[in-house]
Amino acid sequence: MVRFLFHRLLLILPTFIGITIVAFAFVRVLPGDPVLLIAGERGVTPERYQDLMQQFGYDRPIWVQYFDYLAGIFQGDFGTSISTKRPVIQDFLTLFPATIELSLCAITFAVALGVPMGIIAAVKRGTWFDQTLMGTALVGYSMPIFWLGLLLIILFSGILGWTPVSGRISLMYYFPAVTGFMTIDSLLSGQEGAFTSALSHLILPTITLGTIPLAVVARQTRSAMLEVLGEDYVRTARAKGMPTRRVIGLHALRNALIPVITTIGLQIGVMMAGAILTETIFSWPGVGKWMIDAIGRRDYPVVQAGLLLIALVVMTVNLIVDVLYGLINPRIRHQ
Amino acid sequence: MPLLEIRNLSVAFDTSAGLFHAVDGIDISVESREVLAIVGESGSGKSVAMLATMGLLPETATVKADVMRFEGRDMLAMSPQERGKIIGKDISMIFQEPVASLNPCFTVGFQIEEVLRRHLGLRGRDAHKRAIELLELVGIPDPVSRLKSFPHQMSGGQCQRVMIAIAIACKPKLLIADEPTTALDVTIQKQILDLLVSLQIEHGMGLILITHDMGVVAETADRVIVQYKGHKMEEADVLSLFENPQSRYTKALLSALPENAVGDRLPTVADYDFEAEIR
């Protein structure tokens, strides 16, 4: 297992370097000149332009800029935001808990519903339940996030008035951030109604962000279960007189989970992209919204570091998935 | 009273092309301490009949029988829960593909101890001790460390021994072996057959051996049922069957044995006309 982990960790390094190159190149191919935006004025003189170029180091050769940027990263310096003048990592760490809180809720929503739905659909294959579920999953998968988010706001916030439209908590509450997770901080604050408010603000963004992963997880679980239920070892478990619940919930599911866990890991990556849209729709002050704003301002260091840090999160999730994969599947562990 | 008595067993599968009758009106009975062989070509319904008895067929299968009794108890009237107490305990089954028949995610020890826990209520040390005894009984060396092995770390022969250990864990009264040696190489086939027969004698079990190997039948069985396309073609004790086969299909099967070859060409069952024998 240690060797398995070591191999996976070794693979992370070249991937990380590759991502630094992509992130670095990506912001530079975006149309628009950051220096003009920084100057914030019309009719910038060539001298002023040159000054700013020099000040931010954009006059140096591109490869020098890249290695400078890479050296900074390895020293934990992700640069300073052009617009806020604060270290990018500081802004990221302030906003990241909001994204994590939303993503965790969304993936929990997707897995907690998707896995049981997929299992039941597989066990009841061909029935109305299976067909309805898979049809709904297809609709969920096909629906664009921004459209679903808007529909949910119109229905639940506008017409029914059940949920708030945007933000993380009602403006009636204020307390210092301890963990950055609004639900936990609201509980810690001890203010009456704060937790309920934080929770109600999470409902619509969670459904919006979690619907596509829910559909994918349900469909993947169903197909994995269908494959596994026909395996000889499932027949052996039944021939041993094991109750149906144990045959399905232990013998079949343990094997079916192998591809499902991979799917869940991949969905977390997809979710990071979805978070950008969801956070924008619901004015959720997370990393996604921060990145969108930064792209608009051509804030190179923020976009570069944001991409890199999100990629790091996705790589960490993939590493966890690999470890889980090894834990669940002994054939991988013993390779 | 027979250990297992089945009368007029029919199994049909609901397919897109309509109902397919895999087993059509078969009678099977086996006594305690008896070895019954069911022989026939692939698709003759040998395995399906036994899977129906075990209740292991998919939902698309329709199983009908006039009588299905185990030790005089009516299996058709049993609830799935009642049946679950007999299956794996009093009647157990081993299959053709031993490696695929063991769950790849669990250790051999877990898979043996699970059945001990379910049917005998053995837990912890008691279950572990009994699992070691079982592995010793089926001839697996170093059973203590082997209990921690996963199926992919064992050979096909060892996996079949583990399957046999699971099957005999609760000292069943009837063991059904569905082509237990087909997926194994020849030397291991002999060892597994010898093991099955010795365990059958030692434990006084009834043994139903499903096979298409007439050599295996000759060596191990007391009585033989010959099946073709879901029908019983002949039933006889093993000596009578080999010395004086009554059915044309049985004659065809026996003449297709390599040792019975005459001339340059080995006859096949297709050389004989026996379709008229099917009721």
- Asked whether B170 and B85 are in contact (CB, 8 A), the reply is no
Cβ distance A236 to B102 less than 8 Å, yes or no, reads: yes
Provide the domain limits for residue A42: 2-74
Euclidean distance between CA atoms A55 and A327, whole angstroms:
51
- pLDDT tens by residue, A116-166: 999 999 999 889 999 998 999 899 889 888 899 999 999 999 999 898 888
Does the pLDDT of residue A234 top 90, yes or no? yes
Smallest CA–CA distance, residue A236 to chain B, in Å, is 6
Residue B112 has a pLDDT of 95
Please check whether residue A83 lies inside any domain of the structure. no
Six token digits for residue B159 = 């996996």
More confident residue, A318 or A160: A160
Asked if residue A64 and residue A98 are part of one domain, the reply reads: no
Asked if residue A132 and residue A253 are part of one domain, the reply reads: yes
Asked if residue A114 and residue A46 are part of one domain, the reply reads: no
Cβ distance A255 to B101 less than 8 Å, yes or no, reads: no
Domain end marker among A74, A107, A138: A74
Largest CA distance in chain A: 85
Nearest chain A residue to B97 by CA: give it.
A232
Cβ distance B88 to A334 less than 8 Å, yes or no, reads: no
Asked if residue A182 and residue A70 are part of one domain, the reply reads: no
Contacts of A78 (CB under 8 A, 6+ apart): A72, A87, A88, A89, A92, A301, A304, A305, A308, A309
Does the pLDDT of residue A232 top 60, yes or no? yes
Q: In this complex, which of B92, B101, B105 lies closest to A330 when CB atoms are compared?
A: B105
Asked if residue A123 and residue A54 are part of one domain, the reply reads: no
Q: What is the CATH number of the domain that holds A316?
A: 1.10.3720.10
Residue A299 has a pLDDT of 84
- pLDDT tens by residue, B32-83: 999 999 998 888 899 999 999 999 998 889 999 999 999 999 999 998 888 8
Cβ distance A331 to B106 less than 8 Å, yes or no, reads: no
Q: What is the mean pLDDT of residues B236-247?
A: 90
Domain end marker among A24, A50, A74: A74
- Asked whether A260 and A325 are in contact (CB, 8 A), the reply is no
Euclidean distance between CA atoms B50 and B62, whole angstroms:
14
Q: In this complex, which of A232, A242, A251 lies closest to B97 when CB atoms are compared?
A: A232
Does the pLDDT of residue B90 top 70, yes or no? yes
Does the pLDDT of residue A328 top 70, yes or no? yes
Asked if residue A94 and residue A68 are part of one domain, the reply reads: no
Please check whether residue A79 lies inside any domain of the structure. no
Q: What is the mean pLDDT of residues A19-36?
A: 81
Does the pLDDT of residue A205 top 90, yes or no? yes
Domain end marker among A74, A101, A128: A74
- pLDDT tens by residue, B132-184: 999 998 888 999 999 999 999 999 989 999 999 999 999 999 999 998 888 77
Q: Which residues of A touch B150 (CB under 8 A)?
A: 330-331, 334
Euclidean distance between CA atoms A260 and A221, whole angstroms:
6
Residue A79 has a pLDDT of 84
More confident residue, B273 or B158: B158
Domains contained in chain A, number = 2
Residue A141 has a pLDDT of 87
Residue B53 has a pLDDT of 92
SS3 content of chain A, % helix, strand, coil (to 5): 75, 0, 25
**Average pLDDT over all residues of chain B:** 89
Please check whether residue A203 lies inside any domain of the structure. yes
Largest CA distance in chain B: 63
Six token digits for residue A186 = 């609201």
Res. A103 pLDDT band, cuts 50 70 90: very high
Does the pLDDT of residue A109 top 60, yes or no? yes
- pLDDT tens by residue, A78-96: 888 888 888 998 888 888 9
Asked if residue A93 and residue A69 are part of one domain, the reply reads: no
Please check whether residue A233 lies inside any domain of the structure. yes
Cβ distance B119 to A231 less than 8 Å, yes or no, reads: no
pTM assigned to the model: 0.83
Q: In this complex, which of B93, B102, B118 lies closest to A242 when CB atoms are compared?
A: B118
Please check whether residue A7 lies inside any domain of the structure. yes
Kind and range of the H or E run holding B163: helix B156-168
CA-wise closest residue to A202 among A69, A67, A51, A97: A97
Does the pLDDT of residue A334 top 70, yes or no? no
Angle, nearest 10°, between helix axes A182-189 and A194-229? Answer: 140
CA-wise closest residue to A123 among A212, B14, A115: A115
Asked if residue A103 and residue A47 are part of one domain, the reply reads: no
Residue A218 has a pLDDT of 94
Asked if residue A108 and residue A13 are part of one domain, the reply reads: no
Asked if residue A214 and residue A277 are part of one domain, the reply reads: yes
Nearest chain A residue to B103 by CA: give it.
A233
**Average pLDDT over all residues of chain A:** 87
Cβ distance B84 to A232 less than 8 Å, yes or no, reads: no
Asked if residue A140 and residue A31 are part of one domain, the reply reads: no
Q: In this complex, which of A236, A238, A254 lies closest to B105 when CB atoms are compared?
A: A254
- pLDDT tens by residue, B97-140: 999 999 999 999 999 999 999 999 989 999 999 999 999 988 88
Euclidean distance between CA atoms B96 and B101, whole angstroms:
8
Asked if residue A141 and residue A48 are part of one domain, the reply reads: no
Residue B163 has a pLDDT of 92
